[in-house]
Chain A
Amino acid sequence: MSMLQVSVYRYNPETDSAPYMQEFQVDTQGRDLMVLNVLEIIKQQDSSMAYRRSCREGVCGSDGMNMNGTNGLACVTALSDVVKNDKLVLRPLPGLPVIRDLVVDMGIFYKQYERIQPYLQNDENPPAIERLQSPEERDKLDGLYECILCACCSTSCPSFWWNPDKFVGPAGLLQAYRFLADSRDTATRERLSELEDPFSVFRCRGIMNCVAVCPKGLNPTRAIGKIRELLLANAT
């Protein structure tokens, strides 16, 4: 028997006046399970446990949560990566309202994503085939388009905690730059003018928690720096 002590944040708005931590003992049989597997075992013990999950391979971004203090995806985080002293503490992503247990209301996160107009804008008529783009131009999108909107980054960002309604946050800004960097997008000026206020981009203080937690290894801080460079080049 190799028992893992798992402490999980619980809150059901219909029955609980306040959230609390519940302890579970999980027999891992010595295997290096993913945290998601541990939650599945717990859900068999207690069907009322709520969490999101879908692809279970780190590409859909459903199961972002806080594991022993660090944000990440439960399905690609092995126990050996996070567990210390046979203890695992699972909490919802910080800074967003909790709907139930590990499920947070991501409304404001999505709203910030929508605000940057996350779609290609091109005012010219498209050709009969694809728009051409050189491999070098396409390379500029690498490290940007791969974002899975799991919110691990934005919910680890103190600036997003303080101003989630005004600061776009690392995830949204990474996508803002994804379209600014796309050689096929012609709305650069409009996009930039939406970002030059003191909050949307400039609330980034370079803390780099986003880079530390991104499960896809992306670098929002670098993208934010590039947006600042573009803003500067555009305005001087």
Chain B
Amino acid sequence: MSTMRSLTFDAITIGGGGSGLRAALELAKSGKKTAVISKVFPTRSHTVSAQGGITCAIASADPNDDWRWHMYDTVKGGDYITDQDAAEYMCSEGPKAVFELEHMGLPFSRFDNGRIYQRPFGGQSKDFGKGGQAARTCAAADRTGHALLHTLYQNNLKNNTVFLNEWYAVDLVKNANGDVVGCIALCIETGEVVHIKSKATVLATGGSGRIYSSTTNALINTGDGIGMALRAGLPVQDMEMWQFHPTGIHGAGVLVTEGCRGEGGYLINKDGERFMERYAPNAKDLAGRDVVARSMVMEILEGRGCGENGDHVLLKLDHLGEEVLGKRLPGIVELAKTFAHVDPVKEPIPVVPTCHYMMGGLATNVHGQVISRDGDGNDQIVNGLFACGEAACVSVHGANRLGGNSLLDLVVFGRAAGMFIESALNEGVDYLDAAQSDVDQALSRMNRWNESSGGESVPALRTELQETMQKSFGVFRQEDHMEEGVKKVAELRERIANAHLGDKSHAFNTARVEALELDNLLEVAEATAISALERKESRGAHSRYDYPDRDDVNWLKHSIYTPADKKLGKRDVNFQPKTVDTFEPKVRTY
């Protein structure tokens, strides 16, 4: 492939969602030649689906609000494997990042005094859990993600970021020293394959909810960055931690924001009972998402589910009145009508816990630098590679993310990565160029598909993988099911390695993209399966029948999965915030 074209940039972000655009914006503003590689037009990225808001102590709803309280909630919500230096950075820098968004034009909803509207969300408290429910989630009605993503895209236009829209990043290119020096990308429209060279590569590829058959995630959430990193031999952290959002619309999987419960909605079982009062007497429906999701599943398993099959519960909103629903939750009213055929002004919405968010990802520091492990198990920075957003595991979400913290994560760490890369570029970075053999290595996977002449089809394999994950790695997990799941995924790896790409045309070949995505889904699924099987405790979103308790003696640790030997190691959690006292692990109740 000596004729392959190459493009050179100072920095690239792979992914055009919230974190990628925020990082790119920072770099473009500094005058660096920056490109965003996005497999969809940026405003089609999954950030657009975020509804309820961005949690941040901007002290609008409560003038005495304190970012330290937010940090406490975040650490507790993450069941104490949140890195406290990272949570400290996110919560303290957050207001700056949110005000910047407002200055860029984000149309936040407003209070009468003209300040940004904030609503209560799950797991929020005042005064380190002692002051009752807080209202800390800044919202633009129930379309905050949409408003945020469009605002960031618009400001990138303003700052002349180069957009490679509908380009698909296939694999990372590493030089002889193991530094990441760019990637191979496919222009979907023409089918041209291009070598993109860059001194800094930011993986901002988002989540991978499509490893499950039922998910709130967009069809594009296939874990491409995680897949690329694992194939490049890099480890991933806390991959067993998958958040199941309590309120996905039954049957459709479409998200219904936690903001519904923040505005006063609540869950009921078939007897009409507000069952969260039993499971979380204080926070009730606004307990941590893992707690609410488990409670819902318990209700269903104990025969108090609703509907013909007793397989869901109901989210009651009608008591809020048409005006509040129309003003604060207009998008939800629309979605409920379309996908559940109910008008929430009159009837409750059928909901069920649905895969929503990947707390795990590429381990990074607060600057977004990706962390690998050296031979002795010590942290080692990967030169040239950065990650932010859902693809990264900084880790601010620990074992369970709080609602509204993902949008904050995106902008704070997208911005941080951008700032760090800018100063690194200013100081000068000089990595060895990739050799032809390095480029060929990165091309090998796509060449395999392009040369395939027979085998199983991509959609069938994808469905099988998703069903396996759904069955064995759901809200509640147990050893034997997971062992079966791990085996099944290993078997699928063999079959996918021999699968067939029937359509080999060039122009807008979505079959090729889906085949390449399947490889990534598999990588994420396997990392998830092995990590879940090996973490022998229950913590946050990882809940096991056979190990029902949290085990701080052995597992107050990040898990870290290495692809070379498919083994799970442990990595220390950071308990050293710089300006506040450490939050010591406590029993987690709401």
Contact = CB atoms under 8 A, between A and B. Distances in A.
Q: Do chains A and B touch in the complex (CB under 8 A)?
A: yes
Interface string A113-139: 010011110100010111111110110
Contacts of A52: 40, 44
Interface stretch (B110-118, B384-392, B431-439): B110-118
Contacts of B44: 52, 54-55, 60-62
A103 B150 CA distance: 22
Contact of B157 (A100, A119, A135): A119
B320 interface: no
Size bracket, chain A contacts: 35 or more
B324 interface: no
A60 B110 contact: no
Interface stretch (B1-9, B96-104, B195-203): B96-104
Interface in A27-85: 43-44, 47-48, 50-62, 76, 78
B507 A130 contact: no
B114 A148 contact: no
A182 interface: yes
Contacts of A48: 502-503, 505, 509, 511
A54 B218 contact: yes
Contacts of B157: 114, 118-119
B409 to A, nearest CB: 20
A3 interface: no
A51 B154 CA distance: 25
Select the residue from B110, B112, B505, B508 with max chain A CB neighbours within 10 A.
B508
B477 interface: no
A55 B508 contact: no
A184 interface: yes
A99 interface: yes
A19 interface: no
B510 interface: yes
B427 to A, nearest CB: 29
B456 interface: no
Nearest to A140: B107
B426 interface: no
A99 B508 contact: yes
Select the residue from B48, B331, B510 with max chain A CB neighbours within 10 A.
B510
B158 A47 contact: no
A44 B514 CA distance: 12
A23 to B, nearest CB: 19
A24 to B, nearest CB: 16
B458 interface: yes
Size bracket, chain B contacts: 35 or more
B109 interface: yes
A48 B458 CA distance: 12
A103 B143 CA distance: 27
B575 to A, nearest CB: 32
B49 A130 contact: no
B102 A135 contact: no
Contacts of A149: 41, 43
A118 B220 CA distance: 26
Contact of B110 (A126, A134, A182): A134
Contacts of A137: 110
B257 interface: no
A130 B140 CA distance: 14
B43 A148 contact: yes
Closest 7 CB pairs of A and B: A120-B105, A132-B114, A119-B154, A130-B102, A60-B44, A100-B508, A47-B511
Given A130-B108, A182-B105, 20 more contacts: A14-B506, A44-B457, A47-B458, A47-B459, A47-B511, A55-B44, A57-B339, A58-B334, A59-B146, A76-B338, A78-B338, A99-B189, A99-B508, A117-B158, A119-B155, A130-B99, A138-B108, A179-B105, A184-B105, A185-B105
24 contacts: A47-B502, A48-B502, A48-B511, A57-B339, A59-B49, A60-B49, A60-B218, A76-B338, A78-B338, A100-B507, A106-B41, A114-B157, A118-B157, A120-B103, A129-B99, A130-B98, A130-B103, A130-B116, A131-B102, A135-B112, A138-B107, A138-B109, A145-B140, A145-B150
